[in-house]
Copies of this chain bind each other. A is one copy, B any other.
C-alpha cells in the first residue's frame, strides 16, 4: 500500500484527479478507497477478540433516533450454513467463509419496548421498514470498514433477500424483522480487484439533481471500464433473448439484468411479517 490519493482515484474511476496527485492517504483511508469484494478466504479462523471488535464497530455506528434497529445473526452451525448456501449454489463462499452473518432490519425490538412500557406503537408506516433497513445497512457497513482495516475481507450477500421466506424460517426470524443482507467475513486468499465505478460527475450533484449528461457519462464509463477489464463473451447475459452485440459494456450488462423480472417477494414477506407499510 501507500499509493497517493490520485492513484487511488484513478484505480477507482479510471480518471485523473490532479488535485489529489501528490496527496498521501492515511493507511486506513487508503483501505476504504481500495475496497475489494473478497469471496475466497484462507482457512484461518477469525479470532474471538477480532470478532468482538467487529461487533463493537457495527454497534457503534449511528442509529436513527437511537432506536437501534439492527440484529445480527451469526451462523456458526455448519449444517445450517450449508442449508443457506444450498439456496445460492453460485456463491460457495457463503459456506466457505470463516464467518457468516445474516444482517436484519429489526423493528420488532422497539415494538416490544413499547409493549414493555405499556404504550402503543403508532408508527407502522413504510418508513418503519426504511428506518430499520437503513439502520441495519449503516451498522453492517461500519463492520465491513473495521474488518477491512483489520486485514479481513468481506462479501455482502444481498441475494439472501431472494430467499427471504426460507431463510427467515430457518433462522426463526419473527415478525417485524427482515434480512437485508448476508455478510461473509474472513482473511482473503486472493488480492482481489478494484471495481471501476461511475464517475463522481455522474453520481454527485451540486444543489440540485441533474442527470442531463447521463447518456455521455454512461458511454464514457462503459468504455473506461471495458479498457480495464472487458466482460468476457461467456458472461454476456440472456444472449438467446437479447442477442450478442458488438460492444457489451456495464450498461448493456445491467440493463439485461434489470430487463428480466427477478421475482422478488419482499413485499409479500414484509406484509406477512406484520408491516402495515402505510
Contact = CB atoms under 8 A, between A and B. Distances in A.
Interface string A69-108: 0111111110010000000000000000000000010101
Contact of A141 (B59, B67, B138): B138
A86 B129 CA distance: 27
A205 B49 contact: no
A33 B61 contact: no
Interface residues of A, number: 127
B62 A37 contact: yes
Nearest to A210: B172
A189 interface: no
Contact of A258 (B12, B110, B156, B174): B110
B258 A122 contact: yes
Interface in A148-177: 149-150, 154, 156, 158, 161, 171-174, 177
A190 interface: no
Interface string A111-123: 1111011011111
A46 interface: no
B259 A114 contact: yes
Contacts of A261: 122-123
A74 B204 contact: yes
B254 A110 contact: yes
A25 B37 contact: no
Interface in A166-203: 171-174, 177, 180-181, 194-195, 197-198, 200, 202-203
Nearest to A257: B65
Contact of A59 (B12, B70, B106, B266): B12
Given A110-B258, A112-B211, 20 more contacts: A9-B52, A12-B59, A19-B52, A25-B53, A33-B60, A55-B204, A61-B141, A66-B195, A66-B250, A73-B204, A73-B205, A74-B206, A76-B207, A80-B207, A114-B258, A121-B258, A126-B264, A127-B161, A171-B207, A267-B277
25 contacts: A5-B49, A23-B49, A52-B200, A59-B198, A59-B203, A60-B194, A66-B195, A67-B258, A71-B204, A71-B209, A113-B258, A114-B258, A116-B215, A119-B255, A127-B266, A127-B267, A130-B180, A133-B137, A134-B134, A134-B158, A138-B138, A138-B141, A141-B145, A172-B208, A172-B209
